[in-house]
Amino acid sequence: MLTIAVSKGRIYEDALPLLAQAGISPTDNPDTSRKLILQTTRPDVQLVIIRATDVPTFVEYGAADLGITGKDVIIEHGAEGLYEPLDLGIAKCRMMTAARVDAPPIGRRVRVATKYVTIARNYFASLGIQAEIIKLYGSMELAPIVGLADYIVDLVDTGNTLRANGLEPKELIMPISSRLIVNKAAMKMKHQAIQSLINQLELTLNNQAA
Ligand code: PRT
Ligand code: MG
């Protein structure tokens, strides 16, 4: 049995067609069913539906053999115990700095509010800027408006969320997409099943690109 951890929402929606190409279609809809474990059209494959940020944890501890999750989530969690064999090219967005439209350029010190503490710390360190990082769990856009921070680090897609709050994207930190991750021990113990799934997904991605 192979267990794949996926989060509800945009990653799930984008992953479905890819998984379908590998013969894996859930027999329940997670939006209407309350089940957290979904059986699929492949009797040897099940999906566990969890929070995006929990996907690397399930895979690291082997509670799931594989997972699909954002590069942002992988970096913040740390990649220990995980292989990352494929960039699935789904749920794409950009990790960016953002600030009020009238914000002065960053000097040698800056106060940054973000959910992405590791990414923010590494980014500002790489620029030699001293950043005081304030960890938030959501609604980062509020921070510059109420004076909690000068800048935020957040995911940006259309930029509408920023604009609606009087902010604008400033610098690109890195492009983000979702990755296939694999538990290192499972990769050895279930090598054939996992490798053939990786190959099928890779073939699908290559055919899309061609
Ligand atoms: O929502 P929940 O609290 O359950 O968990 P989650 O927010 O971690 O999950 P989810 O499904 O919202 O996002 C999962 C993953 O999708 C992220 O880890 C990213 O890898 C990827 N992704 C792709 C995004 C976006 N695009 C995105 N636009 N994740 C979040 N956003 C948010 C962003 O944080 C901001 O609030 O959308 C807003 C910006 O969108 P625009 O279009 O207004 O710029
Ligand atoms: Mg969300």
Q: Which residues contact 188 (CB under 8 A, 6 or more apart)?
A: none
Distance CA 147, CA 127 (A): 23
Tell me the pLDDT tens digit for each residue of 155-188.
Answer: 999 999 999 999 999 999 999 999 999 999 999 9
Tell me the pLDDT tens digit for each residue of 13-47.
Answer: 999 999 999 999 999 888 888 899 999 999 999 99
Q: Return mean pLDDT, the chain.
A: 96
Whether the full predicted model's pTM is greater than 0.85, yes or no, is yes
Domain ranges of the chain: 2-91+177-209, 93-175
**The pair of three-digit structure tokens given for residue 73, joined into one six-digit string:** 């989530």
pLDDT of residue 209: 86
Q: Tell how far the Cα of 71 is from the centroid of ligand 1, in angstroms.
A: 12
User: CA 28: distance to chain centroid?
Assistant: 24
Distance CA 75, CA 72 (A): 5
pLDDT of residue 32: 87
| Superfamily of domain 2-91+177-209 in the CATH hierarchy | Periplasmic binding protein-like II (3.40.190.10)
Give the long-range contacts of residues 60-63, CB within 8 A, separation 24 or more. Answer: 60/183, 61/183, 62/183, 62/185, 62/186, 63/3, 63/5
Shared fold status for 2-91+177-209 and 93-175: yes
Tell me the pLDDT tens digit for each residue of 106-142.
Answer: 989 999 999 999 999 999 999 999 999 999 999 999 9
Instruction: Give residue ranges with CB within 6 A of ligand 1.
Output: 7, 9-11, 51-53, 70, 72-73, 91, 93, 154-161, 176, 178
Tell which CATH architecture fits domain 93-175.
Answer: 3-Layer(aba) Sandwich (3.40)
